[in-house]
């Protein structure tokens, strides 16, 4: 894998993570159960707590 491909893959992973965070924020605002949010987004409890602090 070339350096450019590696950088591109890292960028794609970052984008996926950002999308999960956006979805989690929306679900939190809709009062969806936190366990369900973690299951749906594959975010950890710690990541979800950090997101809640940002709301």
Q: What percent of the chain has pLDDT over 90?
A: 91
Q: What confidence score (pLDDT) does residue 19 get?
A: 97
pLDDT of residue 1 exceeding 90, the answer is no
* DSSP one-letter string for 1-55: --HHHHHHHHHHHHHHHHHHHHHHHHHHHTT--HHHHHHHH---HHHHHHHHHH-
> Taking all residues of the chain, what is their mean pLDDT, rounded to a whole number?
95
The structural domains of the chain, with segments of one domain joined by +, span 3-54
Residue 34 scores a pLDDT above 90? yes
pTM of the model: 0.85
């Amino acid at each position: 894998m070339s350096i450019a491909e590696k950088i591109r893959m890292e960028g794609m992973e970052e984008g996926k993570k950002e999308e999960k965070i956006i979805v989690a924020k929306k679900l939190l605002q809709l009062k969806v159960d936190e366990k369900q949010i973690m299951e749906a987004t594959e975010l950890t409890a710690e990541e979800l707590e950090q997101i809640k602090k940002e709301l």
